[in-house]
Amino acid sequence: MIAPPLAHEVLRISTAGSVDDGKSTLIGRLLYDSKAIPDDQYEAIQRVSDGAEINLALLTDGLRAEREQQITIDVAYRYFSTDKRRFIIADTPGHAQYTRNMVTGASTADLAIILVDARNGILNQSKRHAVIAGLLRVPRVVVAVNKMDLVDFDEGVFRRIEEEFRAFASPLGVAHLDFIPISALRGDNVVDRSGSMPWYDGPSVLEFLESVPVEGLSSDGAFRLPVQCVIRPNQDFRGFAGRVASGSLRVGEEIEVARTGLRSRVTSVLSADGSSSVGLAGDSVVVTLADEIDVSRGDLLFRPAERVEVTTAFEATVCWMGEQPLQVGKSYVLAHGTSEAPAVVRRVVYRLDVETLDREVSAGLALNEIGRVEISASRPLFFDLYGQNRSTGSLILIDPATNVPVAAGMVTRTHLSSSSVSASSGAVVLLSGFEPEVLEQVEDLVSASGHRTVLLSPASFEAQGLDFGLALRVGRLFASSGTVVLVADPFGVLGDSEGGLRVSAGEVGDALGVFRLVQGALSA
């Protein structure tokens, strides 16, 4: 008998806010009002809080240095639960120099809460948080507009912030964005709905957290199992242990090993209680196979129909976390799934200004900077694009001299030298009359949405001795194997007879508009 899939009851939240915008107070409120703070902890912070107002930040800022400087230094994890759900909060500091902590918290989050001080509006810090949540593909972002009591609970203030924030966040790829007006200190709209803001008819923060769908791990996606170790108690049993990164696996199905291309049939999927049934996303399992094929730590098991990208060279968005800046050409250790390989950064494609979203030319990346880079690994790695799979699309770079992780990376594009074909749908899109910058933005948006993407411009194909017609034919070839081929037609010379989706600058003004059309065509 197959056990019914278990629902996800845990919501992982990352919080971020600037200094003094009341983030810790909000968390403290959630914990205290949902009765998750034990009395002795509450008394302990009462003991050390100076002044009449209780400093709830003392609940989460536990380190000596944090209390001395009255700032949050490190990610702190807090737990609370209600009748409906349990919650894990990664409370991340808002200081600019600690961006890496924010990325850390966001990497496993199902939802990000961003605090905005109603009096100050959207500061650069808040923008930084929104960009990081978007890059890290946190499925949901909720903006808590705090200190509404200090702006007389004025709806106009709240709506202006909402409007401005939506405008900034629209190109970031945040799937769901919500806004809640609160006063963390007074408790308005934190647990209970506030009577002070009759113009707001939405949920309180806690009601929102309790009811919002969890979109973390998906058992619907392609099956991926990074192998952690081989279990071999005796000659008769050889099992491959790992945690299902996505999708699901059942007895009798055929799987392939990414490194070798060898295939076999699954004879059992053992869960932690030893029963043989089905492995769902997130489950730690042991898989046995019908054939004695070579499988070891670092290998990836998948279904032959759901191809994985096997590549040595690829593009990734990285957040630099090292004290020493990124050095092009230096050897780092790349860790991904359960495998490691020496790798070099070949080139910095651009550095991203996370407050303006401008792309800047840069030779390297310094601590807390984010950029797009090209990476070459010394042997093939097995990836999905991060937009498709947060688990198999993520990586870290480790400095081999210090053993400290210096970068968090999200694979945005695998190169055409890849030996494999993506299962996603491809298309040829003719883009007439757009400026080169717009074309690049379209390319990045499509690529970031999880499609393997290539941009053919006259400059690129003429250098290869191709004309428009030939370039189009090559493009269709790639499209048939799952690539989205963007063909730049700056002067609008191609006729409708060429086929494919055609978008011209006269009809759609900006990259986002083009991207939406492409998305529509692909899902049609």
Partner 1 sequence: MIDVVERPQLDAGLHALESEAIYVIREVFGQFERPIILFSGGKDSIVLAHLAARAFAPARLPFRLLHIDTGHNFEETLTYRDRFAEEIRADVVVRKVQDLIDAGRLAEEPGPHPSRNGLQTVTLLEALGELRADAALGGARRDEEKARAKERFFSHRDRHGQWDPKAQRPELWNLFNGRKHSGEHFRVFPLSNWTELDIWRYIAAREIPMPSLYFSHRRPVIRRQGVLYADTPFTYPLPGETVEELDVRFRTIGDATCTGAVESRARTIEEVIVELGLTRVTERNTRGDDKRSEAAMEDRKRQGYF
Using CB under 8 A as the binding rule, whether residue 19 contacts partner 1 is answered as: no
**How many other CB atoms are there within 10 angstroms of residue 201's CB atom?**
7
Which two tokens mark 338? 């359960």
| Cα 415 from Cα 450, distance rounded (Å) | 14
What x-and-dash track marks residues 323-342 binding partner 1 by CB under 8 A? ----------x-xx-x----
Using CB under 8 A as the binding rule, whether residue 2 contacts partner 1 is answered as: no
Which of 325, 364, 405, 500 is close enough to bind partner 1 by CB under 8 A? 405
Considering only residues 236 to 255 of the shown chain, the ones binding partner 1 according to CB under 8 A are 237, 241-243
Q: What phi-psi label fits residue 126: left (phi over 0), alpha (psi between -120 and 50 degrees) or beta?
A: alpha
Using CB under 8 A as the binding rule, whether residue 77 contacts partner 1 is answered as: yes
Can you say how many angstroms the Cα of residue 519 is from the centroid of all Cα atoms in its chain? 19
Nearest-5° Cα angle at 165, 413 to 509: 60
Q: Please, which residue, 93 or 475, has the CB nearer to partner 1?
A: 93
Which of 2, 64, 152, 496 is close enough to bind partner 1 by CB under 8 A? 64
Return the CA Rg of the chain. 25
Which of 51, 156, 195, 274 is close enough to bind partner 1 by CB under 8 A? 274
DSSP states of 450-491: T--EEEE-HHHHHHTT--HHHHHHHHHHHHHTT-EEEEEETT
Q: Please, which residue, 283 or 443, has the CB nearer to partner 1?
A: 283
Using CB under 8 A as the binding rule, whether residue 92 contacts partner 1 is answered as: no
Q: Are 111 and 209 in contact (CB under 8 A)?
A: yes
DSSP states of 249-309: EETT-EEEETTT--EEEEEEEE-TTS-BSEEETT-EEEEEESS-----TT-EEE-TTS--E
Please report which helix (H) or strand (E) contains residue 39, including its range.
helix 39-48
Considering only residues 25 to 54 of the shown chain, the ones binding partner 1 according to CB under 8 A are 35, 38-41, 44, 48
Considering only residues 381 to 400 of the shown chain, the ones binding partner 1 according to CB under 8 A are 390-391, 394-396, 398, 400
CB of 300 to partner 1, least distance (A): 14
Which of 71, 88, 262, 494 is close enough to bind partner 1 by CB under 8 A? 88
Q: Please, which residue, 170 or 275, has the CB nearer to partner 1?
A: 275
**How many other CB atoms are there within 10 angstroms of residue 453's CB atom?**
24
Using CB under 8 A as the binding rule, whether residue 404 contacts partner 1 is answered as: yes
By rule CB under 8 A, what count of residues binds partner 1? 72
- Can you list the alpha helix ranges (DSSP code H) found in 86-204? 99-107, 124-135, 155-169
Q: Please, which residue, 45 or 438, has the CB nearer to partner 1?
A: 45
What x-and-dash track marks residues 191-230 binding partner 1 by CB under 8 A? -------------------------------------xx-
What x-and-dash track marks residues 455-474 binding partner 1 by CB under 8 A? --------------------
Which of 272, 463, 493, 524 is close enough to bind partner 1 by CB under 8 A? 272
Using CB under 8 A as the binding rule, whether residue 100 contacts partner 1 is answered as: yes
